[in-house]
A and B are shown apart, each in its own frame.
Chain A
Amino acid sequence: MSLNIPLRRAVAPARVQASTTFICSQCRHATLLRRPKRPYTFTQLITLSDGSAFTHRTTSPAPVYRSTRDTRNSLLWNPSSSKLLNVEEDEAGRLAAFRAKFGRSWDANTPTEEELIKKSEESGDQAAAAAAEAAAAEEEEDNLLDLISSFGQEEQASGKKKD
């Protein structure tokens, strides 16, 4: 007599997996060790606007990067710099052209470069004149000092004479 083992069949219909758009092939007991991907990098020299330079690694293939605007010449990083504070942005010379055409009554308070130069020249002349005046004044003072110093002596001399 052989024991007849009834073949067990799944009573329930086989589970149909819900179709997913992305297939996750990773099994539970093995984690794929993916090689880390790194973009190719170059060494680039960054030249700042004041001429200082440093190298760094970038994905950009240009070997040198010259910056026109950076921490060395922006007002936010140099709040005390007067040079950056009152810079008149007149790169194309349009403001100068406007002034040449229409005069400068609209911004008469701000001196142009020519006026500044003239002023400096005038101030040079004035300085020479002032120096001459000062010399003259010194001479006068010397005369006065002589007078003052000689004032009592004359009296004394006269007193002595009186004595």
Chain B
Amino acid sequence: MAASESSRYLARSLPRAFAPSARPQSICLRRNLSDQASSKAAPADLEELESTGSLHATPSAPDAVKSFDPISKSRGRKKQLPRSRYQFRSPKYDRGPLHPHQPPKPSDPSSRLYVPGPFSLPRVEQTYQSTVTSDILTLCYVHNPPGFKPPPKAPRLRSWDDSSPYHKNRPLRGPRGGDVLRLLRKPINFNNIPKLERITIHSYVKKAAQDNSSWLHVAGMAVQAISNARVETFKSKTSVATWSIAPGRDSVAVKAELRGEDMLHFFGKLVDVVMPRIKDWEGVKGTSGDSSGNITFGLEPENVALFPEIEVNYDMYPPKMIPGCHITIHTSAKTDKDARLLLSALGIPFYGKMVD
């Protein structure tokens, strides 16, 4: 509709532009080099105008030069300068995409959701960039001679053989042997080297439903202390009759999700300080992982107490209430094998049968 309207207006205005007008639209101010300057100059008397333009620098007074010292002036100021008249405050509510007042993006410092940082370059990140990436790239290199063409693969979703008239317009069949479509693993090259994406620390506190909420508070504080991030609480989704847990009623779990700087600091602390101090620990089981590059392991309550943040302030936590937790390391690897390669390069030991 808008397009048709604009074309209509254009059709109306075009002949108007080409029609000859009676008087000239404006005085032609353009002058060629060959023209006489006086022939085009306006005949108005110019005595009223100043002879020198405003662009000429006027010599400033020597007193003003001597007294100009902004540093000492700002130091000598007792109070802070008043802030500028207008300060933008982000709207408190997001009222939808059609509302005239839109909150700024979370990356904007004036946004309410803005989180500043990163403020440091974590050690794990430096190790990753300097050694781990090149190692993984070397280990995952597959040489293909020039002219090599990989054999064509069968499609992931199979089509129905048209043996029955009922096969028409059916959606494609799932893969053989199960309905799960695994992630596609592309060959690893310089721009898809697996890296850490996020770490989830999750702690299920069953006593929070049986006893009182103090268990949950302590678990939340402990998880926050070890992770540098605020925790979320979750209600139970399933009912466990033996622990008297009803779905939707009891808050039983605490989760902290770490990304970026927090994640790397936590990972470095976990590997360098906490894991070596765990008694009789063989490593992470080789069978753990969800077969799409995320690896989970658990820490017992006495192992959680080994974190330096809890150790430094151990008396603050009631000793029985320190929670155990599950730590899930989400990597950008597509298979568990690649994820395990990355994590073992970063210092997590694995033991037992490796399931890829």
The chain A residues found within 8 Å of chain B, CB to CB, are 29-39, 41, 43-44, 46, 48, 54-62, 65, 67, 69-71, 73-74, 76-77
B94 at the interface (CB under 8 A from A): yes
Binds A, one of B48-56, B144-152, B221-229: B221-229
With A30-B94, A46-B273, A76-B281 known to touch, is A57 a contact of B313 (CB < 8 Å)?
A: no
What are some 16 contacts across the A-B interface (CB < 8 A)? A29-B96, A32-B92, A33-B103, A34-B112, A36-B230, A44-B308, A46-B272, A46-B273, A48-B272, A57-B265, A60-B312, A65-B312, A67-B273, A71-B275, A71-B276, A76-B349
Partner among B112, B224, B349 whose Cβ is within 8 Å of the Cβ of A39: B224
B57 at the interface (CB under 8 A from A): no
With A33-B103, A56-B269 known to touch, is A69 a contact of B228 (CB < 8 Å)?
A: no
Size bracket, chain B contacts? 35 or more
Quote the shortest CB–CB distance from B90 to chain A (angstroms).
7
Compute how far the CA of A31 lies from the CA of B92 in the bound complex, rounded to whole angstroms.
8
Quote the shortest CB–CB distance from B246 to chain A (angstroms).
14
With A31-B93, A59-B228 known to touch, is A70 a contact of B309 (CB < 8 Å)?
A: no
Q: A58: which B residues are within 8 A, CB to CB?
A: 228, 265, 269, 308-309
Taking a contact as CB atoms under 8 Å apart, the answer to whether B308 and A70 are in contact is no
Taking a contact as CB atoms under 8 Å apart, the answer to whether B229 and A39 are in contact is yes
Partner among A56, A61, A67 whose Cβ is within 8 Å of the Cβ of B312: A61
B95 at the interface (CB under 8 A from A): yes
B261 at the interface (CB under 8 A from A): yes
Q: B120: which A residues are within 8 A, CB to CB?
A: 43, 55-57
With A41-B228, A56-B123, A65-B308 known to touch, is A33 a contact of B349 (CB < 8 Å)?
A: no
Quote the shortest CB–CB distance from B114 to chain A (angstroms).
8
Q: B119: which A residues are within 8 A, CB to CB?
A: 57
Q: B277: which A residues are within 8 A, CB to CB?
A: 67, 69-70
Q: A39: which B residues are within 8 A, CB to CB?
A: 224-225, 228-230
Compute how far the CA of A41 lies from the CA of B122 in the bound complex, rounded to whole angstroms.
14
Closest residue of B by beta carbon distance from A41: B228
Quote the shortest CB–CB distance from B3 to chain A (angstroms).
33
Taking a contact as CB atoms under 8 Å apart, the answer to whether A54 and B123 are in contact is yes
Closest residue of A by beta carbon distance from B118: A57
Compute how far the CA of A63 lies from the CA of B223 in the bound complex, rounded to whole angstroms.
21
Taking a contact as CB atoms under 8 Å apart, the answer to whether B349 and A56 are in contact is no
* Consensus secondary structure, chain A interface: loop
Quote the shortest CB–CB distance from B252 to chain A (angstroms).
16
Within 8 A of A (CB), among B246-302: 261-262, 265, 268-269, 271-273, 275-277, 281-283
Most-contacted residue by chain B among A32, A43, A57 (CB, 10 A): A57
Compute how far the CA of A147 lies from the CA of B178 in the bound complex, rounded to whole angstroms.
90
Closest residue of A by beta carbon distance from B310: A60
Taking a contact as CB atoms under 8 Å apart, the answer to whether B103 and A56 are in contact is no
14 extra A-B contacts, CB within 8 A, seeds A36-B115, A38-B229, A67-B272: A29-B96, A30-B94, A30-B96, A33-B92, A33-B94, A37-B230, A43-B120, A46-B308, A48-B272, A57-B262, A60-B309, A60-B312, A73-B276, A76-B281
Closest residue of B by beta carbon distance from A35: B112
Compute how far the CA of A29 lies from the CA of B94 in the bound complex, rounded to whole angstroms.
8
Q: B112: which A residues are within 8 A, CB to CB?
A: 33-35
Interface string of B64-107 (1 = CB under 8 A from A): 00000000000000000000000000111111100000010000
Closest residue of A by beta carbon distance from B265: A56
Taking a contact as CB atoms under 8 Å apart, the answer to whether A35 and B269 are in contact is no
Taking a contact as CB atoms under 8 Å apart, the answer to whether A36 and B113 are in contact is yes
Quote the shortest CB–CB distance from A40 to chain B (angstroms).
9
Quote the shortest CB–CB distance from B140 to chain A (angstroms).
23
Q: B90: which A residues are within 8 A, CB to CB?
A: 33
Closest residue of A by beta carbon distance from B119: A57
Closest residue of A by beta carbon distance from B351: A76
Q: A57: which B residues are within 8 A, CB to CB?
A: 119-120, 228, 261-262, 265
Compute how far the CA of A41 lies from the CA of B265 in the bound complex, rounded to whole angstroms.
11
Compute how far the CA of A54 lies from the CA of B275 in the bound complex, rounded to whole angstroms.
17
